[in-house]
Amino acid sequence: MSSREHNNVVVGVDGSDTSSSALREAAKIAAQRELRLDILHALDFAPYGFGGPYIDAGGVYEWIEEAGKEVLAEAEKFAREVAPTVTIHSEIAIGSPTQWLLESSAKARLAVVGPSSSGKAATAVLGNTAVGVASHGKCPVIVVRERDGVVPTDGPVVVGVDGSALSAQAVGAAYEEASFRGAELVAVHVWSDLGTAAFEDPRAAALAPQSFEEEEHAVLSESLAGWCEKYPEVVVRREIYLDNPRGRLLEWSARAQLVVVGSRGRGGFRGMLLGSTSNTLIANAQCPVMVVRPEDS
């Protein structure tokens, strides 16, 4: 089942500042799009040796469970302050946060996580689950990153394009996001994964096909075909670069409100593994990053 057939946004919380930022964004998205907000808090007992005698005898389980309930209650209160009309479903799960977020993503329109965190409950920490969820989630995943201490709300939506099937899904998601946000869409197409210095030598630059610009504009135009008709209200800006996709998208993240990329594989930019690009953005972008995975994965 496609994620578009679901009517909910799932977000993981652990009581940390970064998870609060993710919760705020998830609540805003759910309210704006009239979706249910599912708040998940995972109790991971692995650091305590789950099932060990000191847990059963020392009441550690009860302490962690109560701390988890408090985190979840605070999260629900916070979400209602952000989006008073949104329908909220909350749940405590036992096990790895990544595991439960991945499972929940199979039944969600969108998943939202923070980049890293250190929560109040000792074993209820999201940690750096962003890479795991973005890499294996069954729906698009937004990793909420801030710029100067806040999540940016202005600037364009930026999407990486290469003409692949996965890139086409990212383009569709980016158009939808730009439409909802009333933002310009910047379609970034990068021809080579080589670093900037690779083309400083005129002899290396001469190796690029003479028809480079014409061919790459054709790839970009084909990738955007059809979407303009579906979202006529979205203003599109096209940007083509010779090299360094990770650097180009990081540069755009400094002025964008969202960057959209594919998750992995030889898609998004020809001849490169997108996992490295998405992971770089998750770790270093200056705005939220949406990672789109194959619908049949």
pLDDT at residue 194 above 80?
A: no
Paired tokens of 146 = 């801030």
**Helix intervals (H) in the chain:** 17-32, 53-58, 60-82, 97-105, 130-136, 165-181, 202-205, 212-224, 227-230, 245-253, 274-284
Region 38-49 average pLDDT = 76
Q: What's the rounded Cα separation, in Å, for the pair 220 and 239?
A: 9
Q: To the nearest whole percent, how much of the chain has pLDDT over 70? A: 74
Cβ neighbours for 69, distance < 8 A, ≥ 6 positions apart: 92
Residue 216 above 70 pLDDT?
A: no
Per-residue pLDDT reduced to its tens digit, 68-127: 889 999 999 999 999 999 999 999 988 888 999 999 999 999 999 998 644 443 333 334
| pLDDT at site 85 | 95
Average pLDDT over residues 168-179: 93
Amino acid at 237: R
The pLDDT score that the predictor gives to residue 5 is 78
Query: Per-residue pLDDT averaged across 168-176, rounded?
Result: 92
82 compared with 215, residue with greater pLDDT? 82
**Is the torsion defined by CA of 31, 186, 273, 278 positive or negative?**
negative
* CB count in 10 Å sphere of residue 60: 17
| pTM for the full predicted model | 0.83
Does residue 193 carry a pLDDT above 60? Answer: no
Mean pLDDT of 60-72: 81
Reference 187, options 266, 256, 287; nearest CA is 256
